[in-house]
Copies of this chain bind each other. A is one copy, B any other.
Amino acid sequence: MSAFFDSRWVAAPEAVIVLDGDALPQGFRAAGVAAGIKESGLTDVGLLVADSPETTSAARFTRSGVLAAPVVVCKTRTRLDAIRAVAVNSGNANAATGGRGMDEAARMQGAAAMVCGVPEDRVAVASTGVIGVQLDGRKVTAGLLAASHELRADGHGAFGEAIRTTDKFAKSARLQVALPGGPVTITAQAKGAGMIQPSFATMLCFVQTDAQLDAATADRLLGDGVRRSFDRISVDGQLSTNDTAILQASGASGVAVAAGSPDEAILREALDALLRQLALLIVRDGEGSRRVGRVVVRGDDRDDAERCARAVANSPLVKAALHGGDPNWGRIAQAVGLAMTDRAPVDLDITIEGVPVCARGAAVPFDQAALDAAVAGTEVDYAVDLPAASGTPAVEAEVFFSDLSHEYVTINAEYTT
């Protein structure tokens, strides 16, 4: 098995082989070009198109109350169950850009449709980069035209490069999945918490498969996968205006995946592992990150567990302790207390790397040197049990998070807009 599935929190599914190379699944072509949006001169416009009119799709977007223009265009002007082309630019988020920004996003959609020869409403657009600066539509249009001349079946890598900002490493994968009905291929390109200027990070992920899926199945698979991956990560508790995840299925493999079939179950497992591993890569590449934490909170109530897990994952004190390799469980207790305001006493149990450190709200003795060593690795596991009336917690919430480092402060304080 390839090194792609390298987190202990993601099991590589048996039916999956990780592939090298840049070939997209059958029925897809892509390209990435430098259009001059990034000052660095690196590629900054990506174009990906599915050749078949039968292509199905699903999409998920940021839930922010302040949406970037391309997100609004996708949500209002795109057939999200039938996306054929995806046009992306990096270097400018086209967010907080008002009516003119909306016009530019619509123009980007129109230009992509024209150069790909597909209807406008089958084009999704996405942007990532600085906010509050108008996107230069002429550069985007010229970039899309150039990209259309370079569309290739092995454009996986080029497209993935074009969506990066300051991601330190590529976040993409090619998988072959042995379904009962035959083999299918999945490719995915993601980007995470990078900055080209101090704005906020944007998470983008594009997934292609040559499996044949009806749109409802694609939507269910993407929705379930996102819920267990990108919805479960936090670099700094902040929410981008631009987050976008798109799954496209060309059907070109001829392998039909019927709803409720064993094929769907295996494809679901593969997609789940793929998205979770990509999500972990985004956390790992979080600004200044050197360690990834996972917190699992168990309890009787889903909202309580979720709120506590988020509070732990987003606590600057917990994150700084993770950075310092300090098994400081008092900060975890504090974060849970914050999430359970006015609910005292919350007599919680805490374990770190499987070692109980707090039981029913009080310290328990543990081997400090052994625990210090256990939290010095690149992945640290925290578990919190809230008091459960039944004795057996009914639900759990899991969040993956990065540490808080000097580099995070440097990146976000010392660069200027």
A→B interface (CB under 8 Å): 62-67, 72, 95-101, 130-134, 198-200, 236-241, 315-317, 320-321, 323-324, 326-331, 333-346, 348, 358, 360-363, 372, 403-406, 408-410, 412-417
Do the beta carbons of A132 and B342 come within 8 Å of each other? Answer: no
Chain B proximity of A367: nearest CB distance (Å): 14
- A269 smallest CB distance to B (angstroms): 30
Q: Is the CB of B334 within 8 A of A64?
A: yes
Question: Quick check: A412 and B321 within 8 Å, CB to CB?
Answer: yes
Beta-carbon contact of A363 and B98 below 8 Å: yes
* CB of A230, distance to nearest CB on chain B (Å): 15
* B residues less than 8 Å from A338 (CB atoms): 64-65, 237-239
Q: How far is the CA of A415 from the CA of B324 in the complex (A)?
A: 8
10 more contacts with CB within 8 A, not counting A65-B337, A67-B345, are A64-B334, A64-B337, A64-B338, A66-B336, A66-B337, A66-B344, A66-B348, A67-B344, A320-B408, A323-B409
Contacting A316 at CB < 8 Å: which of B238, B317, B348? B238
Given known A-B contacts A239-B341, A337-B239, A406-B410, A330 and B131 have beta carbons under 8 A apart: yes
Cα A329 to Cα B340 with chains together (Å): 31
- 24 example contacts (A-B, Cβ-Cβ < 8 A) are as follows A62-B337, A63-B341, A64-B334, A64-B341, A65-B336, A65-B343, A67-B337, A67-B345, A96-B333, A96-B362, A97-B362, A98-B362, A100-B362, A101-B362, A131-B333, A198-B324, A198-B331, A199-B330, A238-B317, A238-B331, A239-B337, A241-B334, A324-B412, A404-B413
